[in-house]
Amino acid sequence: MKKMSLLYIGLTIAAVVWLGYLFRSGNTEDGSAAPNGQSQPIQVTASFYPLFFFTAQIAGDKATVYNLTPAGAEPHDYEPTTQDMARIENSRLLVMNGGKLEPWGDGIRETLKGTDTAILSVGASLADLQLKEEGETVTDPHVWLSPVLAQKEAAAIAEGLKQADPANAPYYETKAAELVGKLNDLDQEFRRGLESCVKKDAVTSHNAFGYLMREYGLNQVSISGLSPDEEPSPQQLAAIADFAKENNVEYIFFESLVSPKLAETIASEIGAETLVLNPLEGLSDEEINSGKNYFTEMQNNLANLKIALECR
């Protein structure tokens, strides 16, 4: 009897010690997989809002995702801080657009050489719109604004997460399929909404909507360049005003992260009104807190396009 109870106590102690070990190792600081199969979320950094949103949707509770470009800032001219760099280096994965959207994109490859951070450029291989800007041929990086190309970005992000964290691959696959399904619904909404419009020309403040317009058979006339702070010359402004008058343009699109001054100037010159077309390059904290996200803003873009282009 005595021997049996000693054995029992001994086994109980062993079990408690073992459980304690599992508990501790399941909460390792570096997030590595513990022997019991439990793991801490991996850390992932995304370069700006849409990629942050897509990555966070797919990552769910399996990864902590940081958005590098702060709320209210704009990715074309943001430079990572020292703190941002530390965050990237502590990440298993860095999700970027590529194709010159991030001005620091080339430098980071050098910096991260030999580290454990994998770099994923999800936009560069999808970018095939060439345009002339200040005499140079440049490739338009704004692929996330096409709901069709966004589905491909989501698939690439899911692939990156699966490679960075193979233990949770089935989870990422399920979440990615949900996101791709929603993006596909968004595409159908745009297709139906823009299928019979009186007008085809959208005058925008920032040349960000090329892929969106191409997808739905529309034409973009933009006031600024690919980067919203590239201001047009007086001659370019005059040409846009002439175009707008000739084509009976009644709405000029502007965006919230950039001063609406240029759009307002042209609008008042030709007696037009302004409407928001959001390139989703960043949402403010208030916008995020009030429940705005990629989908709500894309739906708002569609509603405003339907007004400006007189779609039925």
Q: Closest CB to Zn ion among 123 and 147?
A: 123
Identity of the residue, 78 or 216, whose beta carbon is nearer to Zn ion in the bound complex: 78
Nearer to Zn ion, 92 or 206 (CB): 206
Rounded-to-integer distance, Cα 66 and Cα 205, Å: 29
Supply the minimum distance, in Å, between the C-beta of residue 142 and Zn ion: 6
Instruction: Find the shortest distance in angstroms from Cβ 76 to Zn ion.
Output: 5
Nearer to Zn ion, 31 or 103 (CB): 103
The DSSP output letter for 133 is E
Specify the residue, 96 or 176, whose C-beta has the smaller distance to Zn ion. 96
Matching residue, tokens 């823009």: 194
Report the DSSP pairing between strands 42-46 and 93-96: parallel
Q: Considering the rule CB under 5 A, would residue 149 count as an interface residue with Zn ion?
A: no
C-alpha 5/C-alpha 114 separation (Å) is 56
**Interface residues for Zn ion in 191-230 (CB under 5 A)?**
208
Q: How far is CA 192 from CA 111, 203, 311, in A?
A: 46, 21, 10
Nearer to Zn ion, 63 or 99 (CB): 99
Least Cβ distance, residue 281 to Zn ion (angstroms): 5
For residue 132, the minimal CB distance to Zn ion (Å) is 17
Q: How far is the CB of 167 from Zn ion (least distance, A)?
A: 36
* Pairwise CA distance, residues 228 & 156, whole Å: 27
- Residues in CB range of 61: below 8 A, 6 or more apart: 41
Given the complex with Zn ion, which of 84 and 281 has the nearer CB atom? Answer: 281
* Residue, CB closest to Zn ion: 208
Residue with tokens 């390059």: 281
CB 146 within 8 A of CB 122: no
Number of residues lying near Zn ion (CB under 5 A): 1
Minimum distance of Zn ion from residue 279's CB (angstroms): 5
The residues, any chain, with a CB within 8 Å of residue 133's CB and separated by 6 or more, are 207, 225, 226, 230
Burial of 1 (0-12, 13-18, 19+ CB in 10 A): exposed
What minimum distance in Å lies between the beta carbon of 208 and Zn ion?
A: 4
Strands of the chain, DSSP E: 42-46, 63-67, 93-96, 118-121, 130-133, 136-139, 201-204, 219-222, 251-254, 273-276
Nearer to Zn ion, 49 or 216 (CB): 49
- Least distance to Zn ion from the beta carbon of 270, Å? 24
Token pair recorded at residue 202:
């959208």
Size of the chain in residues: 312
In the complex, the residues that contact Zn ion under the rule CB under 5 A are 208
